[in-house]
Amino acid sequence: MTFNPLEHEGIPLDKQLRNWRELDVAPVDPDDSDPYTRCRIIALNGIEIESIMFSHHFARVCPDMDVKRKLAEVRYIEAQQQKVVNWLLPGAASPLETTIAYEQVAVDLTAWVARMEPDPQLKQAYEFGVLEDFDHLYRYANLYEMIQHRKAEKIVDGLTEVIPGRPTRFHHRHPADNVREPYDKTEADPLSKLHALTIMAAEQQTMNFYMNVGPQYMEPIARQLYQEIGLIEEEHVTHYESLVDPGETWWERLVNHEYNECYLYYSFMETESDPRVKAIWELHLNMELAHLQAACDLMRANDGREPEEVVAPELPVPVTFEPNKQYLRELLDTQIDLTTLGAGYVRDAHERFERMQETVMGGEQPPSDAVIDMHTEKFGSDYRHELERS
């Protein structure tokens, strides 16, 4: 079945405002919900936050009062959507438990995108990045058992493995080496544009989350590990945002954002196992369809272009949270020793990389290694959750 978001009107914008009662959604059951339902909540929260921040940035450079008012109107609805989506998370989770779920999202969403991405250069960018978040999951899981005496397998379930990826200590590259070449907006597959926006949004919310929750811990090793991985998420945002063609106009970017929101709500509506949550994805899809219409009207009026020139005529196959264990094992075998040099990838440590490493390490072990040593000292070995045979 094909679905063309441009052909649906959705809920009229002036009917989208919700009252307190409607915003006050019951969270999912912390003990009895599909881990991938939580992943979809986290992913969509990242998408809504990106839509809000993008709209604010647009408004700040927009001199047209009518456009500013239209942006504000849609943005308020996005803000209500963000509240509903993120408030589905049960308050029972500690920041560290949520962190482990964030890294699971990064692993399984990026792996899925890498598998589906048609452009080899972009595919490489996702394959490169996913091995790093995979290792973050392992480091945080060790911290979790150490300070909360619980196992990460309770969170990720049997869906995602917790084993070492590309070691976190090697993620500290010179910032200039985190900038990739963008796709060309005139030639890129519409799916590539959606992928880039999705992963950029997911990494950005992870970066923002660690910025704020890291200092909430009292244990020195926890504070240190959040600083270290928080800085890598900064690198990841740089890496993924540079994939997007900077030559897209603001109007075109607005259309792409709304189209991507339609794509993700549609995808998750199609794949959601919890019927109550599924109904929310469906409601939000029907709101996004009207946002998309509004964005298309703005583009027609200001860019003189039709949306069909920019976006796909139908939605691609639904974005799906599913296990990627075997795929990740293959990447571990072939890409673990990669780093970047300029816009490309190399296997050998180079001078700029080594200088960066020396400076940030300051002659000491990084927190990501210390956490494993401390865990081993306390429990006799590191924490792993292996499911596939290596």
Site residues, Fe ion (CB under 5 A): 48, 51, 78, 81, 106, 133, 136, 203, 233, 236, 258, 261, 288, 291
Q: Which CB sits closer to Fe ion, 85 or 221?
A: 85
Comparing CB distances to Fe ion, the nearer of 48 and 382 is 48
Least Å from the CB of residue 122 to Fe ion: 16
Distance CA 225, CA 140 (A): 8
Cβ count near 47 (within 10 Å): 28
CA atoms within 13 A on the CB side of 303: 19
| Residue of 55, 88, 29 whose CA lies nearest to 284 | 88
CB of 52 to Fe ion, least distance (A): 8
Nearest approach in angstroms of CB 22 to Fe ion is 16
CB of 133 to Fe ion, least distance (A): 4
Nearer to Fe ion, 231 or 346 (CB): 231
Nearer to Fe ion, 173 or 236 (CB): 236
> Measured from the CB atom, is 215 or 355 closer to Fe ion?
215
Tokens of 215: 């200092």
Say how far apart CA 91 and CA 101 lie, in whole Å.
14
Question: What burial letters (b/e) apply to 241-254, b meaning 16+ CB within 10 Å?
Answer: bbbbbeebebbbbb
Question: What would the two tokens of residue 216 be?
Answer: 């909430």
CB of 202 to Fe ion, least distance (A): 8
- Residue 213 β-bridge partners: none
Cα-to-chain-centroid distance, residue 303: 30
Residue 189 CA to residue 372 CA, distance in Å, equals: 42
Pick 236 or 325: Cβ nearer Fe ion: 236
DSSP 16-71: ----HHHH-PPPPPSSSS-HHHHHHHHHHHHHHHHHHHHHHHHHHT---HHHHHHH
Choose between 81 and 224: whose C-beta lies nearer to Fe ion.
81
Q: How far is the CB of 386 from Fe ion (least distance, A)?
A: 20
Provide the minimum distance between the beta carbon of 60 and Fe ion in the complex, in angstroms, as a whole number. Answer: 18
Q: Which amino acid, one-letter code, is at 93? A: A
Structure-token pair, residue 165: 């990826």
Q: Which is nearer to Fe ion, 74 or 191 (CB)?
A: 74
Token pair belonging to 246:
């900077």
Contact 207, 234 (CB under 8 A): yes
* Least distance (Å) between residue 184 CB and Fe ion: 25
- Count of alpha carbons within 13 Å of 171, Cβ hemisphere only? 27
Question: Measured from the CB of residue 249, what is the shortest distance to Fe ion in angstroms?
Answer: 18
Residue 32 vs 96, nearer CB to Fe ion: 96
Alpha helix (H) ranges present in the chain?
20-23, 35-60, 65-86, 95-116, 120-148, 153-156, 190-213, 220-241, 250-271, 275-303, 325-335, 351-361, 367-379
